[in-house]
């Protein structure tokens, strides 16, 4: 039966879960990775969470986010969240489906083990595969006309709600030693917008309103000083955003400088944080360059490409000087944005999950005999996890580090 049904693809992020079936163009459900529970210990009845995760329908409920910074932190809540996803949203019988789940880079093996245990022992799923989000995001970028060879080599910037990762991938293998993380992502940008709204005393400065404003109006500008003066010259750049409050009341919120100030945090983090001060283009690293961007902000990729190019050119010039005038051929920087950016890992999973080989590489509960063996086998299988091993069944490519310094930059944004 499970061989005839489509694989279920689930990308559970810090902020949003993307759920659907392999072979589809987009997830069937996208909703906050949050559960609302009644009672202090968070073990009582579940309640629905609204689309933005900002409100819970029902008095006395507490809201919980089981994933923090990309990693599952509360397994009990996560299991309940998965159960809801499978039985109430997707409405599937897990024993009749193979499942493709995603994980962040450098996910500890115990997390994979716990996930497998829940899916096999609580849900009795027919088969399970856990793929790294960045590798799936690379596959999703194949839909871009700028991508000519469908390779799994490139660097992904995956910037979601809770974490931004810069992840070099060579032939489907994540180069773990070179992954960099930035503690700034979508939720921080929302908080920043909210703080500006509060400072101005806007009539509504809720998180929901801040998130709406961020998603609808924010963009990346080429030069923040010039942009300020453009706003001062041209009042039409200020926008009135109408918010419908509970009870039907409508209020108008002014939207101004935050339109370009908020995403500028990626390029000048000091405007938001005094702890983390490194701009994203520097983290990507000019010499190995390679990475694409987080977001759907207008012109994010363009600005990243420009800033990385400046860094790379400066380094090349410095190395030419050091080598006594030898001329370098230069290094092309290409930042790829594409239509599937928004749900890149999910879409890559959808592509992967519909291939004929997919099921043969899934782990199934029937394979091992005995509980201990199940645990050992799961650990070995999932820990070894060559992400696309069914495509390229071999060990780490010996030239992986070199290939990772290729010239492709993939933007994975959300």
Ligand X SMILES: Nc1ncnc2c1ncn2[C@@H]1O[C@H](COP(=O)(O)OP(=O)(O)OP(=O)(O)O)[C@@H](O)[C@H]1O
Site residues, ligand X (CB under 6 A): 13-16, 70, 160-163, 185-187, 211, 214-215, 295-297, 414
H helix intervals, 67-184: 75-84, 109-117, 133-140
Q: Which is nearer to ligand X, 183 or 222 (CB)?
A: 183
Q: Which two tokens stand for residue 120?
A: 């096999």
Q: How far apart, in whole angstroms, are the C-alpha atoms of residue 411 and residue 220?
A: 15
Whole-number Å distance between alpha carbons of 328 and 321: 11
What sign has the CA pseudo-torsion 271, 277, 280, 281? positive
Residue 376 is inside which H or E element, if any? helix 371-384
Name the minimum Å distance from CB 117 to ligand X.
22
Is 346 or 381 the residue whose CB approaches Mg ion more closely? 346
Nearer to ligand X, 297 or 358 (CB): 297
- Could you tell me the two tokens for 225? 């000083």
126 vs 134, which CB is nearer to ligand X? 134
**Residue among 9, 12, 13, 20 that touches Mg ion (CB under 5 A):** 13
How close are the terminal C-alpha atoms of the chain, in Å?
Answer: 35
Cα separation, 243 vs 232, whole angstroms: 25
The Cα–Cα gap between 18 and 26 comes to: 9
Report which residue's Cβ sits closest to Mg ion.
13
Partner whose footprint covers residue 211, from ligand X, Mg ion, none (CB < 5 to 8 Å by kind): ligand X
Selection from Mg ion, ligand X, none that 266 binds (CB < 5 to 8 A by kind) is: none
The H or E element containing residue 174 is strand 173-174
Residue number with CB closer to ligand X (52 or 311): 52
CB of 160 to Mg ion, least distance (A): 4
411 binds, among ligand X, Mg ion, none (CB under 5 to 8 A by kind): none
The least CB distance from residue 281 to ligand X, in Å, is: 18
Q: Which listed option, Mg ion, ligand X, none, makes contact with residue 279 (CB within 5 to 8 Å by class)?
A: none
Query: With contact defined as beta carbons under 8 Å apart, do 101 and 387 qualify?
Result: no
Measured from the CB atom, the residue of 343 and 363 that comes closer to Mg ion is 343
Considering the complex, state which of residue 64 and residue 187 has its C-beta at the smaller distance from ligand X: 187
Nearest-approach distance from CB 14 to ligand X, in angstroms: 3
Task: Write down the least CB distance from residue 208 to ligand X, Å.
Answer: 11
- Kindly identify the residues of this chain, within the stretch 160-199, that bind Mg ion according to CB under 5 A: 160
Q: Please give the sequence-ordered ranges of beta strands (E in DSSP) within 44-142, or none if there are none.
A: 46-47, 61-64, 67-68, 71-72, 98-103, 127-132
Site stretch for Mg ion (CB under 5 A), options 8-16, 236-244, 291-299, 359-367: 8-16
User: Which of Mg ion, ligand X, none has residue 215 at its interface (CB below 5 to 8 Å by kind)?
Assistant: ligand X
Residue 234 beta carbon to ligand X: minimum distance, rounded to whole angstroms = 23
Task: Choose the one of Mg ion, ligand X, none that binds residue 187, judging by a C-beta under 5 to 8 angstroms depending on kind.
Answer: ligand X
- Considering beta carbons, is residue 61 or 297 the nearer one to ligand X? 297
Stretch that binds Mg ion, among 5-13, 199-207, 287-295, 397-405 (CB under 5 A): 5-13
Cα dihedral: 295, 299, 300, 306 (round 10):
160
Q: Rounded CA gap, 172 and 400, in Å?
A: 10
Distance CA 70, CA 83 (A): 19
3-state secondary structure of 361: helix
Window contacting Mg ion (CB under 5 A); options: 9-17, 50-58, 166-174, 373-381:
9-17
Number of H helices, E strands in the chain: 13, 18
Cβ–Cβ under 8 Å, residues 214 and 308: no
Which positions touch Mg ion (CB under 5 A)? Answer: 13, 160
């Amino acid at each position: 039966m499970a061989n005839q049904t489509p694989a279920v693809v689930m990308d559970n992020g810090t902020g949003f879960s993307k759920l659907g079936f392999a072979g589809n163009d987009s997830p069937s459900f996208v909703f906050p990775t949050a559960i609302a529970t009644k009672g202090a210990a968070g073990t009582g009845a579940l309640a629905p969470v609204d689309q933005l995760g900002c409100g819970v329908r029902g008095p006395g409920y507490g809201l919980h986010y089981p994933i923090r910074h990309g990693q599952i932190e509360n397994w009990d809540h996560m299991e309940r969240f998965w159960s809801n996803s499978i039985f109430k949203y997707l409405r599937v019988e897990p024993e009749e489906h193979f499942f493709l789940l995603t994980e962040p880079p450098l996910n500890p093996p115990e997390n994979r083990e716990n996930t497998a245990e829940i899916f096999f022992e609580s849900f009795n799923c027919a088969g399970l595969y856990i793929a790294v989000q960045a590798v799936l995001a690379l596959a999703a970028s194949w839909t871009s006309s700028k991508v000519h060879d469908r390779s799994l080599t490139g660097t992904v910037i995956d910037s979601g709600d809770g974490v931004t990762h810069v992840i070099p991938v060579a032939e489907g293998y994540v180069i773990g030693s070179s992954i960099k993380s930035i503690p700034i992502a979508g939720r921080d940008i929302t908080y920043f917008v909210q703080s500006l709204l509060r400072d101005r005393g806007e009539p509504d400065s809720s998180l929901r309103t801040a998130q709406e404003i961020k998603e609808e109006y924010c963009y990346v500008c080429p030069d923040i000083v010039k942009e300020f003066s453009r706003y001062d010259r041209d009042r039409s750049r200020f926008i009135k955003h109408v918010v419908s409050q509970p009870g039907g009341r409508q209020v108008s919120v002014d939207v101004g400088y935050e339109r370009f100030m908020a995403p500028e945090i990626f390029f000048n983090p000091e405007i938001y944080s005094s702890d983390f001060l490194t701009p994203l283009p520097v983290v990507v690293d000019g010499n190995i360059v390679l990475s694409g961007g987080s977001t759907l902000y207008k012109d994010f990729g363009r600005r990243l490409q420009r800033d990385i190019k400046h860094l790379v050119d400066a380094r090349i010039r410095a190395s030419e000087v050091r080598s006594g005038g030898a001329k370098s051929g230069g290094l092309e920087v290409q930042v790829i944005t594409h239509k599937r950016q928004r749900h890149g890992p999910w879409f890559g999973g959808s592509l992967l999950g519909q291939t004929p080989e997919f099921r043969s590489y899934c782990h199934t509960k029937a394979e091992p005999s005995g509980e201990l063996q199940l645990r050992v086998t799961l650990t070995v299988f999932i820990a070894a996890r060559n992400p696309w091993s069914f495509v390229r069944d071999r060990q780490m490519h010996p030239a992986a580090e070199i290939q990772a310094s290729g010239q492709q930059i993939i933007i994975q944004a959300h």
